[in-house]
Amino acid sequence: MLRRVGPSLRHFLLEKNSRAGRSSCSREAKMSRPVQARRLEGIDKNIWVEFVKLAATYSKVNLGQGFPDFPAPDFLTEAFSRALSGGNHMLHQYTRAFGHPPLVKVLAQFFEKLLGRDLDPMTNVMVTVGAYQALFCCFQALVDEGDEVIIIEPFFDCYEPMVKMAGGTPVFVPLRPNPPKDGKLMSSADWQLDPAELASKFSERTKAIVLNSPNNPLGKVFSREELGLIAELCVKHDVLCISDEVYEWLVYDGKQHIRMASLQGMWDRTVIIGSAGKTFSATGWKVGWVVGPDRLLKHVRTVHQNSVYHCATIAQEAVAQGFQRELMLYGKPESYFVQLPKELQQKRDWLVRSLDGVGMKPIIPEGTYFLVADISQFKSDVPDVPNSDEPYDQRFAKWMVKNKGLAAIPLSAFYSEAHKNNYSNFIRFCFAKEEATLKAANDILQKWKQEKTSS
Ligand code: PMP
């Protein structure tokens, strides 16, 4: 502000401020303009901050935030211990900024197999601090002021603020539920895009679409036909695809995860985002990556080199060793990528039975370690507050953790502000948990159900 006033007024204001400062040393200096950057407007709230705190304060059983409570595999933690104290002291120093060479090399080998194309580890792969930083780098590198980015609802909540921070405008298109007619439980496959509605969102302003398959929170695994429809529109309108595939190995019932980049015309316009946290059940390590064509990755590298630049060397070394093992065992029963989904599928089925048993109707996920359940039958316990701005499921989840000790995340957290109340009868559970944790959740639900029927 001071820059805009004339010299004598500026002098007067400076004098006044300094006098005020002298007369009250304890009072903080006030700036006459906002201290925060304009791009932060409207994105300061974050549901996880609130729900993680609530879970820490009240929960006896936490099926909220998405992380396993069982240990990461021994081969991975042993690789970390070897990297830490195995005698190569250089692993305690910076490594290559765009990814530790052993890790980018093995990721390139792995993705060559998965995508059926040659990859250059130095230009087609970049390592990040978790998939979160990979997403941030992609949005910053590829989205400009005025660009529109299509986001499929429900979505992993950080996409919206990240698009906005890059100056873009999110354009939402919902997955619409089609309940099965035969009274069967709903599946995440019953949530589908309306092809005409999706097509209507593409325009000359569209720069990119965010695809998350398998999808958090629903667990939907997009079919080849659905991906084909999106790919066709991307090619037709010259649109990029930011493909968040962090749950790529967590797919059930013999379903196959299809990679968008493997579809006709999509490699050149797709960045694939992955996470060692999800892949090896070690979310705290925060190792992620971006795989894609150099024409896109060179810009993603520019953001990385001007923000984070280096990721922890030891964690990258251990993840590289994990991938080397998995490359050797690819498709074999001993492979972690074969074993983990098998174990998780049993946990999923267990939680499905438990929820169905008490009438909290589960939507059976085809992938991820999340499960969304319908809370309609429990509505009477948490009375609605008419005209409240807070979506019902949010109030329900808060009430549940405070009164029953069970933590879950409201589905409305995965919708844009404008659509938050459209699907507010659902909560999301994470089932990547020890048997004892799932049993404890079941006990809470059973007791609750008994109290309901006897009251
Ligand atoms: N994308 C999705 C869809 C996620 O669910 C998550 C984590 N919950 C991430 C990205 C971030 O992954 P990371 O922990 O590797 O940063």
Ligand 1, atom 7, residue with closest C-alpha: 66
403 Cα to the center of ligand 1, angstroms: 29
Local structure of 282: helix, strand or coil: coil
CA angle 223, 226, 228 (to 5 degrees): 105
Tell me: the pLDDT tens digits for 133-167?
Answer: 999 999 999 999 999 999 999 999 999 999 999 99
Residue with tokens 């692993």: 91
Please give the number of the atom of ligand 1 that sits closest to the Cα of 135. Answer: 10
pLDDT at 268 over 50: yes
**pLDDT at site 383:** 76
Please give the number of the atom of ligand 1 that sits closest to the Cα of 283. Answer: 14
User: Rounded to 10 degrees, what is the CA torsion of 112, 118, 120, 123?
Assistant: -90
33: left (phi over 0), alpha (psi -120 to 50) or beta: beta
Per-residue pLDDT band at 46 (split at 50, 70, 90): confident
Contact present, 192 and 178 (Cβ < 8 Å) = yes
In this structure, what token pair is assigned to residue 148? 């529109």
Instruction: Name 299's Cβ contacts closer than 8 Å, sequence gap at least 6.
Output: 141, 142
Please give the number of the atom of ligand 1 that sits closest to the Cα of 156. Answer: 3
Contact present, 310 and 97 (Cβ < 8 Å) = yes
Tell me: the pLDDT tens digits for 189-228?
Answer: 999 999 999 999 999 999 999 999 999 999 999 999 999 9
Contact present, 282 and 72 (Cβ < 8 Å) = yes
pLDDT at 6 over 70: no
Tell me: the pLDDT tens digits for 329-344?
Answer: 999 999 999 999 999 9
Please state, in angstroms and rounded to a whole number, the distance separating the CA atoms of residues 252 and 366.
5
Strand order in the sheet with 426-430: 362-363, 370-374, 426-430, 409-410
**pLDDT at site 11:** 53
Please give the number of the atom of ligand 1 that sits closest to the Cα of 368. Answer: 5
Ligand 1 pocket, CB under 6 A: 66, 130-132, 156, 212, 216, 244, 246, 275, 277, 283, 286, 288
Residue with tokens 């401020």: 17
For 250, counting Cβ atoms within 10 Å of its Cβ (0-12 exposed, 13-18 middle, 19+ buried), the class is: buried
pTM over 0.85: yes
421 Cα to the center of ligand 1, angstroms: 24
DSSP track, 111-156: HHHHHTS---TTTSEEEEEHHHHHHHHHHHHH--TT-EEEEEES--
Pairing of strands 206-212, 240-244: parallel
Lowest-confidence pick of 49-53, 69-73, 193-197, 233-237: 49-53
132 Cα to the center of ligand 1, angstroms: 6
Most informative mutation of 133, 160, 246 for ligand 1 (most atoms within 8 A of CB): 246
Beta bridge partners of 372: 363, 428
**pLDDT at site 23:** 47
204 Cα to the center of ligand 1, angstroms: 30
Helices (runs of H) and strands (runs of E) counted in the chain: 14, 15
To the nearest whole number, what is the mean pLDDT of the chain?
A: 93
User: Which of 205 and 31 is assigned the larger pLDDT?
Assistant: 205
385 Cα to the center of ligand 1, angstroms: 33
Local structure of 291: helix, strand or coil: strand
User: Which of 447 and 453 is assigned the larger pLDDT?
Assistant: 447
**pLDDT at site 9:** 52
Most informative mutation of 127, 137, 156 for ligand 1 (most atoms within 8 A of CB): 156
pLDDT at 367 over 90: yes
Nearest to 280 by CA among 240, 323, 310: 323
Q: Cis omega before residue 7 (within 30°)?
A: no
In this structure, what token pair is assigned to residue 34? 């906002």
pLDDT at 29 over 90: no
**pLDDT at site 454:** 82
CA angle 164, 411, 243 (to 5 degrees): 50
